Amino acid sequence: MSEAEVPARLFPTASQDALAAKLVTPTPQTESESYKLAYQDRAFLLRDELRPVRFQLELMKPELFLDEANIGSTFVFYGSARIPEPGHKANGATPEIAESLEGKSHYYDVARELARLAGCESVDEDGMHHFVVCSGGGPSIMEAANRGAADAGCSSIGLNIVLPHEQAPNAYVTPDLSFQFHYFALRKMHFLLRARAVAVFPGGFGTFDEMFELLTLMQTGKTRRMPVLLYGREFWNRVVSFDALVEEGVISPGDIELLTYVETAEDGWAAVKRFYETPAA
């Protein structure tokens, strides 16, 4: 017997079985919902009892796709979905709020340039890409990040979330690296699984949630430290007082060192490179 005659696999693939399942003779039994293959039964998969399975699927799908794309590490961008591109009007509840948002529009250009600098920085000997730009996939600062990577001719990742109002990935996310999540928890996990640097621009509840979760993970030693670039010292000093947290005794003075304040793309990228050029103690 030649080696070529040895079958590559013993059982048919799931897709082959799925096609075969469609060829059954219609009877009361085969027409019943109970007869559907479990992985083809949408109503079954969406039952509350299947939530753990959906958790697993939402964890695994992006992980497999990113592995197949040779994504070794990422540079994550957090920030507001409301800050407009320079020269564009903001949708504010009042003229004063619109003016405030437009006053932050230069951060769009900063995020875009930072992503351009990082976009195709390194590929290791195994062909793994590092510091691949990763955003929430939406507008504003997220769009700027993906756009900057596109400016450099690089791929970038978008991690969108299903929301009650209409939203879609921005046009600069690499299509094959554009993901949609139902669970915020799984989305936040994917932001950090490959993260080796994070840039945090002015933002609201979502930005705070993502930033403080990372700071907590580093503070408690659940994850290794990485550069966390905080853009907009004036904004952050106004909306949260880290010094006051130290004075109240609820964080340690050294915890503030988890943050690096920067204002320009060049300073931010230099801080990342400096962090990884420093020999480990």
Domain limits, the chain = 48-277
pLDDT band at 5 (very low <50, low <70, confident <90, very high): confident
* pLDDT score recorded for residue 72: 95
Do 138 and 203 touch, CB atoms closer than 8 A?
no
Q: What is the mean pLDDT of the chain?
A: 92
- Amino acid identity at 57: L
71 bridge partner residues = 129
pTM reported for the whole predicted model: 0.91
User: CA neighbours within 13 Å on the CB side: how many for 63?
Assistant: 11
Rounded to whole angstroms, how far apart are CA atoms 251 and 245? 6
pLDDT in tens, 109-166: 999 999 999 977 688 888 899 999 999 999 999 999 999 999 999 999 999 999 887 6
Tokens at 179, concatenated:
């993901």
Dist CA 104 CA 29 (whole Å): 63
| 157 in Cβ contact with 122 (< 8 Å) | no
Rounded to an integer, what distance in angstroms lies between the CA atom of residue 209 and that of residue 243? 19
What tens digit of pLDDT does each residue of 59-90 get?
999 999 999 999 999 999 999 999 999 999 99
Facing residues of 200 across strands?
78, 230
| Helices 205-219 and 184-193: angle between axes, nearest 10 degrees | 50
pLDDT over 50 (residue 280): no
CATH of segment(s) 48-277? 3.40.50.450
- Which tokens go with 14? 């799931």
Give residue 281's pLDDT: 38
Report how far residue 139's alpha carbon sits from residue 171's, in angstroms, rounded to the nearest whole number. Answer: 9
